Structure 1
Amino acid sequence: MGFLDRSRTIAPPDWNRWLVPPAALSVHLAIGQAYAWSVFKPPLEDALGLTGTQSALPFQLGIVMLGLSAAFGGTLVERNGPRWAMFVSATCFSSGFLISALGAWTQQYWLVVLGYGFVGGIGLGIGYISPVSTLIKWFPDRPGMATGIAIMGFGGGALIASPWSAQMLESFGRDSGGIARTFLVHGVVYAVFMSVGVLLVRVPATVAEKAVARSAVNVSARNALRTPQFWCLWVVLCFNVTAGIGILEKASPMIRDFFEGTPVPVAAGAAAGFVALLSLANMVGRIAWSSTSDLVGRKNVYRLYLGVGALTYLVLALAGNASKPLFVVCAMLILSFYGGGFATVPAYLKDLFGTYQVGAIHGRLLTAWSLAGVLGPLIVNAIADGQLAAGRSGPDLYTTSLFIMMGLLVVGFVANELVRPVDAKYHEPVGEVVR
């Protein structure tokens, strides 16, 4: 389709580069709905007779497909440009909701899993990486800030989607028909909203692209996989995400369990407010810490994520139930590092591998997220279930998993220290990059 061709998105000389972040945000705010999946869990369980494990399948498959589609589609995104990628993302993500609506209406849960998890998950992955290399090329002076603005939208999408979805479920009903109508509205509205990004996005003019090609480092996605730097960053991202998502997935029951034996236990409403605070910390951390990385360097800011994160987990394990404010502040700090890690890694990749195929490299790196999305909740839930079966309660349900998370962050800290500039033998010839 000519409209989606990369050549049709080349910006005129007077194009304002600050129009590109809103284009990216229109996609990321939409696909960030994934973090609000828990709103649909209780009504689906009641309407279709599902267990908690079964109702989590669409979300889990969506995160797995996010990593896989980003990895396998990254090169296509680089080749075909951001407009093509945003269009594919909008089509898949919106279609996923429409298929899920059919599944809820006919009470065929496998269609919900197929739609939201598989088809929608492809839209998540392609949409997540679609603006990365474009933003870095438009903002070579502030790549951390630029990618942080866009990826902030993914963290903040749930702040919009969660109350919106809850309100629609109250209006349409929490039976299968009401769920189907809610999915249908999501599919239509997100298709329109994401189309803004498709229409607005532009890539730098050819002269700017050639200037980028003359930069000191340009490594192809294929060669990046052969470098130790890529795999060090893979470990860093995987363990930083594992540590954050473990708390995020279990946040509401965790804070209630930690303070169940205190004179003033945490009520269900307060626990829901705690989850909202964590989402806010996740979102703000993406722009704040990634922008900070432009000033202090990527390696230094990851030292903060991993080193201070490990110490924060230690505080939670040893004294988390001593004070509610202490628990909340520690958890919010960890979630800000979780979000910041996502937003900073594209700029870290640009520093190491150049802008030549940074989107494709980023896509391959996101396979770390696929593993972490399973690993983090598995560690926290499996250990909590085991401790509960052994007759323990309160903070004892989580102490072991908190120490494990601390250990993973220490391993990530070591991996970050091992990162060095990429050897020149992996660089692409300038002529190839220009071509």
Structure 2
Amino acid sequence: MTAITEGMAGSPGLLDRERIIAKPGFNRWLVPPAALAIHLCIGMAYGFSVFWLPLTNAIPGEASEACKAMGLGTALFTTECNWRIADLGWIYTLFFALLGCSAAIWGGWLERGGPRKAGFVSALCWSGGIAVATMGVMTHQLWLMWLGAGVIGGIGQGLGYISPVSTLIKWFPDWRGMATGMAIMGFGGGAMVGSPLAQKLMEHFSADGSIGVWQTFLTMAAIYLVFMMGGAFGYRIPPAG
């Protein structure tokens, strides 16, 4: 009966938890690089300030009195005024508010569905959010920046943050502190890698007279998608017991 039930149910999907249970003899030290691949990408949230100064000068010329006196609501939808650093800084708030909320809401789903599925969704949200923010820069719509990088990207951060931590702790029950530290190291190091990369890309793309931010966003979104997908599909979980 069990065999018939398994046959009717079919084999587990590519993202299912059952698909990534490690076989006997699997080397647990192959898991930390997969975790770092995801955390190094979402850790770029700490380095987003590298974009603030170029974005505050996206529209050339001196600001009008109306632009100087505009409120946050006006800044969200204006296409005629440069954004202020304070307006852009709200993306930080959204990043980490959504990180905490999504981790709390979908933490149980991660344990049931497995880290590969969570890492896959995280990659789509983080890279897709940056792609939406690219549209915000191109059309000079701050609300799109908030929605893309802050909200969608923040959800991707939350899922991407907890999946490596949860997985590494399962593989290193004897060194739980070290396992958590390896994951957090990658998250903190994301800006150390991403900020210089963003600076170089903006310098390259600004050669034609533009500020080079939207091109940098799109390039980094593609890079992050590749690395995060590699990390998600590199996940394995230990068998029961």
2:55 and 2:211 in contact (8 A); partners too: no
Show the counterpart of 2:93: 60
Show the counterpart of 2:62: none
Superposition RMSD in Å: 1.5
Matched ranges for 1:275-314 at <5 A: none
Q: 2:84 aligns with which of 51, 54, 57?
A: 51
Q: 2:154 aligns with which of 118, 121, 127?
A: 121
Q: 1:8 aligns with which of 9, 19, 22?
A: 19
1:178 and 2:216 are equivalent in the alignment: no
How high is the TM-score relative to the length of structure 2? 0.83
Report how many aligned residue pairs link the two structures.
Answer: 207
SS at match of 1:131: helix
How far residue 14 of structure 1 moved from its aligned partner, in angstroms, is 1.1
CA separation in 2, counterparts of 1:132 and 1:154? 11
How far residue 113 of structure 1 moved from its aligned partner, in angstroms, is 1.1
SS at match of 1:21: helix
SS at match of 2:26: coil
How far residue 146 of structure 1 moved from its aligned partner, in angstroms, is 1.1
Show the counterpart of 2:239: 205
Show the counterpart of 2:165: 132
Percent of pairs with identical residues: 52
1:280-307 deviation digits (Å, cap 9, x = unpaired): xxxxxxxxxxxxxxxxxxxxxxxxxxxx
CA separation in 2, counterparts of 1:96 and 1:180? 13
Higher relative contact order (CA 8 A, sep 6+): 2
CA separation in 2, counterparts of 1:103 and 1:160? 24
Mind listing any 5+ residue stretches in structure 2 that lack a counterpart? 1-11, 60-81
Show the counterpart of 1:38: 49
SS at match of 1:142: helix
2:126 and 2:152 in contact (8 A); partners too: yes
How high is the TM-score relative to the length of structure 1? 0.46
CA separation in 2, counterparts of 1:47 and 1:65? 27
How far residue 133 of structure 1 moved from its aligned partner, in angstroms, is 2.2
SS at match of 1:89: helix
How far residue 173 of structure 1 moved from its aligned partner, in angstroms, is 1.5
CA separation in 2, counterparts of 1:70 and 1:90? 15
Mind listing any 5+ residue stretches in structure 1 that lack a counterpart? 209-435
Show the counterpart of 1:95: 128
Show the counterpart of 2:174: 141
2:40 and 2:189 in contact (8 A); partners too: yes
SS at match of 1:2: coil
Structure possessing the higher radius of gyration over alpha carbons: 1
Show the counterpart of 2:227: 193
How far residue 126 of structure 1 moved from its aligned partner, in angstroms, is 0.6
Show the counterpart of 2:145: 112
Q: Which contiguous aligned blocks of 4+ residues in structure 1 show a shift greater than 3 angstroms?
A: 174-177
Matched ranges for 1:209-358 at <5 A: none
Letter of the 1:84 partner, please give it: K
CA separation in 2, counterparts of 1:100 and 1:112? 4
